[in-house]
Amino acid sequence: MRQDVRAYYLSLSITLVSVVVLLFFVKSLPAPASPYPSLNDVQAWIDSVEKGDMEKAIASAGKILQCRPPTLKPGPDYLIIAKQMKLDPAYFSTYPGKADFLRWESAFAVKGLLLNEFKDQSPTVPEIFKFMQRLVTLKSDEDSKRQSGSPAEILLKGYGNPQELTRLLCEMAYQEDFEVQTVSLLNEKGEQVHLLCEFRKNGAVDTVDMRFGKIWPGKSFADLLKDKSLRGGIWPEQVENCIHNFSYGVPAEPQDYKPANQDLYKYVLLTARRLDFHFGSDPRERIENYLRFFPDLKTNERFGYWRYPFIVMMENSVQADK
């Protein structure tokens, strides 16, 4: 009997010692890597963007993106853009740098102006348009000069050509959660003759003509296409003749095509739960989402990517290298 008791306690002691050793070993192991970035890294990124500290913002973004899986290769449509723009396809797979910081800073600046003007209200497109007209002036003769590299740069300059101001208005609306598309009217050679932009949100739609300063509240481009009286007396014959040859284009900034910025935005939202400004929405997904407004569409060949921001980026890059 006594031997049985001793054997029992000895076995229990050995078990307890084994458990203690096992717990000590487990505790000494490195903690498994979290699939999400730390709140400190995310907050450091937000603070750096708001303060304009490019070096710290880029470094913080690099730490945040360490959590993500290997980047997928860009889709064939993005590779087509790269070929047409004579852009190195590797651009889409690069980690954040100076150009990306300027994108974050631009989004922060544009959203900041909107928040300061409209507070917590949700402005309409006509209200955004009128606000923008107070900030910048249309100068069509600027077409041949160096064009602004970002929406914030257009604001800082204080003026711009129709394409620049269309880019700015689209960015302002994007920051206010509108779904946005540009509409290019093309001649027989496929060259852009005129440019419009269409905005949708919560069932409402508006169309804007920056060049002629015209807004059609509650009207889509399709409405303008069907009803000539809506555009009567506004456009010259050269534009009117191109009305049926058109293409939609998502007005995304070049940096938003990069998976690094798309992932960065998602990680920041998941960790910080809130970020006032937007960036990094996948342009392909923006097009796919917009197509729901065209349920009877048999082909989406008229929908694509607005090349203008890429053209400006490439031209300014060449000028900087000279």
* pLDDT confidence bin for 112, thresholds 50/70/90: very high
Helix (H, G, I), strand (E, B) or coil at 26: helix
pLDDT at 320: 59
pTM of the model: 0.87
Residue type, 165: L
- Residue 293 has what DSSP assignment? G
Give the residue ranges of DSSP H helices in 86-161: 98-118, 125-135, 151-157
Residue type, 279: F
Asked whether the beta carbons of 198 and 183 are under 8 A apart, the reply is: yes
Residue type, 118: F
- Residue-wise pLDDT for 207-245, tens only, equals 999 999 999 999 999 999 999 999 988 999 999 999 999
- Least confidently predicted of 12-21, 36-45, 147-156, 225-234: 12-21
Of residues 42 and 272, more confidently modeled = 42
Asked whether the beta carbons of 169 and 210 are under 8 A apart, the reply is: yes
122 vs 175: CA distance, rounded Å: 11
- As given in the structure block, the two tokens for residue 140 are 């069509």
Query: What values do phi and psi take at 186, rounded to 5?
Result: -120, 150
200 vs 215: CA distance, rounded Å: 14
- As given in the structure block, the two tokens for residue 62 are 């690099």
- Residue-wise pLDDT for 141-172, tens only, equals 766 578 899 999 999 999 999 999 999 999 99
Task: Taking residues 128-136, report their average pLDDT.
Answer: 97
180 vs 287: CA distance, rounded Å: 9
pLDDT at 192: 95
pLDDT at 195 over 70: yes
pLDDT at 12: 44
Nearest to 55 by CA among 67, 65, 40, 45: 45
- Residue-wise pLDDT for 46-96, tens only, equals 999 999 999 999 999 999 998 777 666 788 899 999 999 999 999 998 999
pLDDT at 268 over 60: yes
Rg (CA), the chain: 27
- Cα dihedral 62→63→64→70 (10° resolution): 70
